[in-house]
Structure 1
Amino acid sequence: MSNFVAAMKLAGDVDLSSNPELKKQFSKMSKQMTKYLQCWAVTSLSAKSRVPFEAGVFDYVIIDEASQCDIASILPLLYRAKRAVIIG
């Protein structure tokens, strides 16, 4: 868990797209952590660097204050979830 926390902090500071090996390791670690962390809270902006861009990573995505979001920001979140709950 402590390694994952350190990786999350690093992911916020580093452009993973410029380092394929680091991106691969981070993605693998994120998949493992979804077994232990059943609920993640991220903004639409921070999800890019903190959640792997893979279809159906999560069972649900809950978008609160949806009227304040644009469609382009929400689409990557919807792609990562099997189902969506959209509020507001």
Structure 2
Amino acid sequence: MKAIALLEVQAMVAAITGLDAMVKAADVRLIHVEKRLGGRMVTIVVEGEVSAVKAALEAGAAAAAEVGNVKVCEVIARPHPDVMRFLTTG
């Protein structure tokens, strides 16, 4: 079952640290990064199997929290095709 995980942090260093931990912790791949949010917010989206994205999000949030401010974490199992289209179109 496919899922996506969203990690929203404040500051690019926290985003990079979180993403590094996510892709090292589980079999997930980066599908979207949103850097145009106000207040230095960055949102990272990865996809994979439900268990993998949960493990990745847990690792990424913990790593990002060590160097910055984690705002929101969320896992969406079986995202609707419109959600995926939203994420993959500019």
TM-score, normalisation: structure 2:
0.29
Q: Compare CA radii of gyration and give the structure with the larger one.
A: 1
Structure whose residues are more often strand by fraction: 2
Higher RCO (Cα < 8 Å, 6 or more apart): 2
Structure whose residues are more often helix by fraction: 1
